A and B are shown apart, each in its own frame.
Chain A
Amino acid sequence: MSWGALPPAVQALVMGGVILGALTGILAYVTLLERKFAARLQSRIGPYRVGPRGLLQPIADGVKLLLKEDVIPETADRPVFNLAPVVFLIPCLLIFGVIPFAPGIGVADLDTGVLFFLAISSVEIVGLFMAGWGSNNKYALLSAMRAVNQIISYDLPFIMATLVPVMLAGSLRLSEIAAAQSRLWFIAYPVIGQIAFVFFIITAVAAENRVPFDILEAESELVAGFRVEYSGMKFAIIQLAEYAHVLGTSFLGALLFLGAWAGPGPIWLGPVWFLLKALLVFLLITWVRWSFVRIRVDQILRVSWKLMLPASLLLLLATAATIVWRTPHA
């Protein structure tokens, strides 16, 4: 029986399994990439002891975390505390479900792909808040409060920034947005494309709680924020979810602005190009992370509501005007 003859549900299931497996491996090595990259920025070497050039480091880390004792604080709200990492992880993995890695390769190419991505990625806040609340720790509680503040504030400008390519392509379906860039990547779209990309990066950094917007972890103030009480595999799951979210957003960025799988060479190189572009976005986010100091919670909110949101609305308006202006009138 050929691949095309399989029922769509089976296709999606197989594809989901393949992508999840590949993703876990990529995520592990993305952490190594970030550590090496950060080390170079800081004039260090980075991990190099485990395996050749430290290549086995992520595996060693994983084994270590598996073997660690899983501590549950006595006063924690046990069901909430135990469930939180999973609730946090699921939306972060689900976002990969709508990303087409090449024409026809993907779990589900929804009509409303972008919408699904945005909606699901903001659900992670439920897991964050559960972790903060269930730990019954003051640092974690403060962190959970900050999380709600921040993610709600930054999801709006983030949505606005993603809407620009959507408007340019005229579709919410991710594969169509990718196809619409066959002639011109949206980052090269005059003025609007670049501004939108910068907005996208800033808001993505904020929505992923990375420095300079990592006020929920803020280890110098809140020790480790919402995950201060987590250890062992639960900690690993939270870590995995965070990296999945960053990587998912990087893929989205590469798809919306950098032409997704477009690139020289045969068609089967498409997913490789896509991965490389996503890693480029990832390194951009990482570069920001390792260069700035963190800003304060009230400043983050002020920047969001008074600057980013009005500016992104204006950008949307400008995009709409440009589209109307450039569309030939019959």
Chain B
Amino acid sequence: MMQQILTLSFMTAFLSAAVRLAMPLMYGGLGEIYAEKSGILNIGMEGVMLCGAFFSFAGAWYSGSLAVGLVCGIAGGIAVALIHGLLSIYLAKDQSVSGLALNMLTLGLTSFLFKLMSAGQGYQQIQTLPSVALPGLSALPLIGEAFFNKDILTYLLYVLLILTHIFYKKTNLGLSFAAIGENPEAAASAGVPVHRFQWIAMLLNGILGGIAGAYLVLVQLGVFTEDMVSGRGYIALATVIFGRYTPFGMFGAALVFGAANALQIRLQTIGVSISPYLLGLLPYLITIFAMLGAVGKNAKPESLSKPYIKGSR
């Protein structure tokens, strides 16, 4: 069995699968970075992704166009994120409660709408987004196939990661966006419009979370099933913590989770004598260990999930 694992072709396929499986986590994680760095904890990321997944499927199914599907998925994600924004920014409610409520709401809603849409006939499939090999880069051994022979959404993510990094590290606006999650009073007294920026952050959270859900449908599976996000939204939250609230840290963390998932699938297919249910636990176990490992190294924005109310101290 070890020989089977240690071949180059196995490793290439494994790494490629890891990147593919990590992609929804990375989009979700990136969206969550924007939200959390502005002080809004969106536990509802699961719901954002689920709505993204469902509406991208519905859009693509009815229009026959993947682009329309993507736009619909983004719109679905935005809707959920903005409801969370309404509750946590405008009404200053408890963000954990709001997020959890949204997860349950979207689970019911998408399942219901899908039943209506499919009218009981089970399996509906759409075309998935094709891979485009980047000339040159994709020829690199091992990583070329894994990172540079992918769909355009993957490449878009690379660009977004770099832009996000530059945004927070180098730009005037990025500094303000990071400050409102640390100390909104301080930011406000420097003239930063805290609430407006939090709304913008939630908008980005919705867009990116929507793409995360859409990616599952439009790239990975081509179908929608009930509760298809199945915890990836929560893992995306974990990647943010594990990655210490930086885009590249989150990227690395998501890759670890993707690899765990890819590994358990590979092990199942080559017929390791461990129960597939136990193997399926792997990514979640890693989540827990990642959390334990992150103890003490706190990079959490100091005012995360504390509502900012203007004029109060």
Note whether A and B form a binding pair: no
